[in-house]
Amino acid sequence: MRKVFAFIFLSLPILLAYQNCAENVAFETSPVGSTADGGNMGNGDGINDDSNSDGDGVSDNDGGNNDGGPGDQDDIDYVKTTCENSPWQSLNTSITFPSYQNGCAYNQNGNLGPRNGFVQARYEHIVPMNIPDNAIICDLDMQTQTSTMYYDDHLIVALNNYVLSSSNLNYIEDGLLVPVLNSDTQETLYKYDWAQMVGAPWRQGGNHNVVYCLGEDSGNSSCQIPLTQNTGSFKVDIDEDALQTIIGLSNVGSNHKFKLVVTGDNDLDCISSEFSFNVNIKYVIADD
């Protein structure tokens, strides 16, 4: 039976918990306003005081390409072959994206000023994931601790900046997310890059309330996201083959990061409720 990378985000005010099983693993939440550097919040205005950003809205330390550039088909094949032929190990932990209710930090760190109907600002929550040296992630299973979530205006969930799901399919159709072709399956993945999105018109017709889900067209993935400004369930199940493709393309060693991006246009946007989940990480140890 095909394994599936599954996780569900929902809201409940709980603290981030740490649990180590089999190997030591550390998760820490780093909610960042317009600066995706994985640091800690600074002065409470949605701006990180310890930012590595160069001001263009694109992170200089966002969990992608830390090992010398983006991966290619050889890297994807290596990950999939290693996962297929090596014994899997597992470890468990809990993780939380904290609530953020302060609204967009307009005109700061790559964000533009308020403008109705345009993608002007974002708030990024980043969760670094530390795994053992030489570990290759083969599968992730995540289960919710909560039952509801809320966000405003639109939502993107990414692993190492590769988009797993988005609340707005127009972001895909209008070219606001960067297409990356998987030559092995001929399926297109999409990469989050704030510089690609900022200032673009937010098309409110068409599929702006239709969810994008990586792998859904092939029938191996499923996603559920509530409508913007509505409370509801949030679930994402991604096929393990697609996950391993992302791991190969990311080429980040053990420096993997989940990213939750909430975008806004002109008012108290970029907000989201807290949501938490348990994580079971399945991995192999690669040869040096």
| 204, amino acid identity | Q
Residue in the structure block whose two tokens are 């981030």? 16
Beta bridge partners of 36: none
pLDDT given for residue 130 in this prediction: 74
Contact criterion met (CB below 8 Å) for 56 and 42: no
pLDDT given for residue 116 in this prediction: 94
Q: Which residues, 6+ apart, have CB-to-CB distance to 221 below 8 Å?
A: 4, 213, 214, 215, 236, 237, 238, 239, 242
pLDDT given for residue 202 in this prediction: 83
pLDDT given for residue 163 in this prediction: 94
pLDDT given for residue 100 in this prediction: 95
The pLDDT profile of the chain, 288 residues, written as one tens digit per residue, is 444 444 444 333 333 333 333 333 333 334 445 333 333 333 333 333 333 333 333 333 343 334 446 788 889 999 999 999 999 999 887 778 899 999 999 999 999 999 999 999 999 999 888 788 889 999 887 666 566 788 999 999 999 999 998 998 999 999 999 998 766 665 789 999 999 999 999 887 777 778 888 888 777 788 878 888 888 877 777 888 888 999 999 988 878 898 999 999 998 999 999 987 777 889 999 876
Instruction: For residue 46, give both structure tokens.
Output: 């949605």
pLDDT given for residue 112 in this prediction: 97
Helix, strand, or coil (residue 246): helix
In this prediction the pTM is: 0.77
Of the candidates 28, 287, 239, the residue with the CA atom closest to the CA atom of residue 139: 239
- Please count the other Cβ atoms lying within 10 Å of the Cβ belonging to residue 94: 18
pLDDT given for residue 273 in this prediction: 92
Instruction: Provide the Cα torsion 147, 193, 16, 67; round to 10°.
Output: 130
Q: How many residues does the chain have?
A: 288
Q: Which residues, 6+ apart, have CB-to-CB distance to 255 below 8 Å?
A: 63, 66, 128, 130
pLDDT given for residue 45 in this prediction: 37
Residue-wise burial string across 141-164, b where 16 or more C-beta atoms lie within 10 A, e elsewhere: bbebbbebbbbbbbbbbbbbbbbb
Q: Exposure of 128 by Cβ count < 10 A (0-12 exposed, 13-18 middle, 19+ buried)?
A: middle
pLDDT given for residue 211 in this prediction: 87
DSSP conformation class of 206: T
